[in-house]
Chains A and B, each alone.
Chain A
Amino acid sequence: MAKGDIQNRDAFLDQIANQLGRERQRTPVQRPDWNHQVQWNVLQGKSQDELLDVLEEQCKSIHTSLVRTDASNLNEALLEVIKEYGGESVMTWYDPRFEEYALTEAFREWKGEGIHVDKWDAKNGEESIRLAEKADVGITFSDSTLAESGTVVLFNDKRKGRSVSLLPATYIAIVPKSTLVPRMSQATREIHKQVEKGEQIASCINFITGPSNSADIEMNLVVGVHGPIKACYVVVEDR
């Protein structure tokens, strides 16, 4: 990608420095060690099982159902959720984890149940967005899962389209138990380390906490606004 333009920067930043009563800051600023670092105390030292209990409890406050299963029953668990919510068309990421959990094969057999599965394919261009918009259910894996808030973190890329977790009315996240961390602090620290190493981070990182909602009308909570109306996390014991 060609470099972008920057306009009016010097005058703008000079004015800031001037107001602060000093010259422009030309050498790298060292971020201080903050005196208060309370974020690391939250759910400190909890095991994966304990974090899963926290996640399950939190899901009750975010209108999200949670299903526990293991690798051999994952296919059945997913089918059950889809049947319960009602859906005939499914859109998934193009993600090697579907193959690892033997789901690619299983999806073909869903046809017999009257469920059609498409996967995100950047080669199809806009057609992938259209398919996601038409799908009843979107399924992705969680890349990192925050127990405290009940959040799945998604690193989107060309095989992991942003639309899959956004456009269908029902969203299902497959949560490998090993992705559980206490809270947002652990996930953002990982991203920070990636940046420090000079790696390119995902162009879009979603922190998703249940279905979309709004309280804009008389502060009454309505679940399901522009994004998914229903959300379910299927937590799977690691293989």
Chain B
Amino acid sequence: MPMHIGEKDFQNRVDKGLDDGFMRGAVRSAQGRLQNNRAKAAEELGDWEEWRSLGKEIRNHTMENLDYYLEQLTDKIAELGGHVYFAKTADDANQYISDVIAKKDAKKIAKSKSMVTEEIALNDILEANGCDVVETDLGEYILQIDDHDPPSHIVAPALHKNKEQIRDVFKEKLGYTNTEKPEELTLFAREKLREEFLSADVGITGCNFAVAESGSFALVTNEGNARMVSTLPKTQITVMGMERIVPTWEELDVMVSLLTRAAVGQKLTSYVTALTGPRIEGEVDGPEEFHLVIVDNGRSKILGTEFQEALHCIRCAACINVCPVYRHVGGHAYGSIYPGPIGAVLTPLLGGYEDYKELPYASSLCGACTEVCPVKIPLHEYLIQHRQKIVEEEKKSDWGERLAMKGFGRMASSKTLFGIATKSAPFLVTPFVKDGIISKGPGPVKAWTDSRNFPAPAKERFRDWFKHREKGDSDHGKG
């Protein structure tokens, strides 16, 4: 499962997140800043709700006619001399890209940040083929140098690391000798990566939005690495999720305006680079050879279902930046390269309930995500729908869980059994109680007591206290 990160057990991943004090501090402060910037930018623009409605309208229309727009896009690209490969699965995409690289006899690959290549785990395949793959987005570069630490946020992948950790990684792996100041760390990366850009044989980019009418695609960045990757290497491969497309340049404007504000609160990022085919004859920079790989990998199955709007996502991470659950457990806990509310919606759709059935429960259903989504995806409603489906499916399968639930159901619905269970609670938990507090609870109480204390059950049950009180039994009056 390429999309998967970290260990298999959800609870263990969550525990790890909760225990990582530094990560939680970093996430808290980053969320604060990003939320603030987004809100400010939206207010400054004005008519934000109308903008969101426009975004939704455009995404709706595009998804309803996706086959048409993809055909138009790829006809244009082929006309311009670019090659197009439609990849049904991650394996298909990786195989095609490997073949192109092998044909070019290319050794060094420079990549700019791309979530879809993370999703298909392209780097693993290329490295296994013996290529030197260099991630050039600063955050991705840091993670790659640190023995391929997985990303924890879709816009700021190294959000979980502090500057001291980054300094240490650079020191250990690259012989860095300066301080932990972000300016010095960044300058060091600039110099290191400049050599890589100039010597790369192939550049690989993602795609924020393709423009159907002209066969173009746009890269939205701040660092300039995507410009390097699309200017210097002779061969360029661009990988796009099949839904990342708009009809014309006019819609590109709207979607980019929504994206940069929702993601980081900028009116525009430093660079929006729109590329159309390989370089035109006579031009010196830009790729001679251009390949576009369009990836399905489970997306088409979402079309025509109640979850179709999940494909409207433009990967801004606004929902992640307001999510109280993400704030506490961090990105790695989701076990997917797509964390937060959109991750909890999208990951089970792409990867199946079998592996990701816990994710729709990693939400307080507060609805903050839905409120900030620039294209109005009903995120928290989708989480509820996922839960319904999971319960439906479990009725059909997981007998162990059903048995336990049935046990509880029987116990709770029988007056006698419930009475025995609640009466025995104070005795059963006695070994865990100290000064009327449980701080290391057993079984179902454990998750709670890992982060806070739980009061021990009262010696007298509420029901008993109430009964006695009704009788006017003064001894029991102040229970």
Q: A203 near B286 (CB under 8 angstroms)?
A: yes
Is B80 an interface position by the 8 A CB rule?
Answer: yes
A73: B residues at CB distance < 8 A = none
Most chain B CB neighbours (cut-off 10 Å) among A31, A202, A211: A31
Q: A210 near B270 (CB under 8 angstroms)?
A: yes
B88: A residues at CB distance < 8 A = 8, 11-12, 15
Select one of A17, A36, A39, A225 contacting B253, CB under 8 A: A39
| Beta-carbon contacts under 8 Å, A107-166 to B | 120, 122, 124-126, 128-129, 133, 146, 148-151, 156-158, 161-163, 166
Contact bitstring B249-286, A, C-beta under 8 A = 1, else 0: 11011101100000010111111111111111111111
Q: A188 near B83 (CB under 8 angstroms)?
A: no
Is B303 an interface position by the 8 A CB rule?
Answer: yes
B264: A residues at CB distance < 8 A = 215
Is B301 an interface position by the 8 A CB rule?
Answer: yes
| Beta-carbon contacts under 8 Å, A200-224 to B | 200-220, 222, 224
Q: A189 near B249 (CB under 8 angstroms)?
A: yes
B53: A residues at CB distance < 8 A = 35-36
Q: Considering the complex, give the chain B residue whose CB is closest to the CB of A12.
A: B86
Binds A, one of B120-128, B156-164, B334-342, B352-360: B156-164
CB distance from B384 to the nearest CB of A (A): 23
| Beta-carbon contacts under 8 Å, B272-328 to A | 272-286, 290, 294, 296, 300-301, 303-304
Q: B197 near A209 (CB under 8 angstroms)?
A: no
Select one of B74, B213, B257, B278 contacting A6, CB under 8 A: B74
Is A192 an interface position by the 8 A CB rule?
Answer: yes
Q: A217 near B163 (CB under 8 angstroms)?
A: yes
Assembled-state Cα–Cα distance A24/B163 (Å): 52
Known contacts A192-B249, A214-B138; is-contact A39 B158 (Cβ 8 Å): no
Is A16 an interface position by the 8 A CB rule?
Answer: yes
| Beta-carbon contacts under 8 Å, B214-257 to A | 214, 216, 222-225, 227-228, 230-232, 242, 247-250, 252-254, 256-257
Q: B271 near A216 (CB under 8 angstroms)?
A: no
A102: B residues at CB distance < 8 A = none
| Beta-carbon contacts under 8 Å, B147-188 to A | 156-159, 162-163, 166, 182-183, 185-187
Q: B182 near A4 (CB under 8 angstroms)?
A: no
Known contacts A6-B84, A184-B257; is-contact A213 B283 (Cβ 8 Å): no
B296: A residues at CB distance < 8 A = 12, 15
CB distance from A50 to the nearest CB of B (A): 17
CB distance from A25 to the nearest CB of B (A): 4
CB distance from B288 to the nearest CB of A (A): 10
B273: A residues at CB distance < 8 A = 204-207
Assembled-state Cα–Cα distance A216/B70 (Å): 33
Select one of A6, A24, A185, A187 contacting B67, CB under 8 A: A24
| Beta-carbon contacts under 8 Å, B44-68 to A | 45-47, 50-51, 53-54, 57-58, 61, 64-68
Is B18 an interface position by the 8 A CB rule?
Answer: no
Is B378 an interface position by the 8 A CB rule?
Answer: no
Is A83 an interface position by the 8 A CB rule?
Answer: no
CB distance from B68 to the nearest CB of A (A): 4
Q: B279 near A188 (CB under 8 angstroms)?
A: no
Q: A224 near B186 (CB under 8 angstroms)?
A: yes
CB distance from B348 to the nearest CB of A (A): 18
Assembled-state Cα–Cα distance A206/B216 (Å): 12
Is B333 an interface position by the 8 A CB rule?
Answer: no
CB distance from B198 to the nearest CB of A (A): 7
Q: Considering the complex, give the chain B residue whose CB is closest to the CB of A191.
A: B249
Q: Considering the complex, give the chain A residue whose CB is closest to the CB of B247.
A: A31
A11: B residues at CB distance < 8 A = 86, 88
Q: B253 near A3 (CB under 8 angstroms)?
A: no
CB distance from B257 to the nearest CB of A (A): 7
Q: B253 near A184 (CB under 8 angstroms)?
A: yes
CB distance from B472 to the nearest CB of A (A): 63
Contact bitstring A42-58, B, C-beta under 8 A = 1, else 0: 10000000000000001
* Pairs across A and B, CB under 8 Å, 10 listed: A21-B304, A31-B247, A42-B45, A124-B284, A183-B257, A195-B213, A205-B216, A205-B273, A208-B271, A226-B193
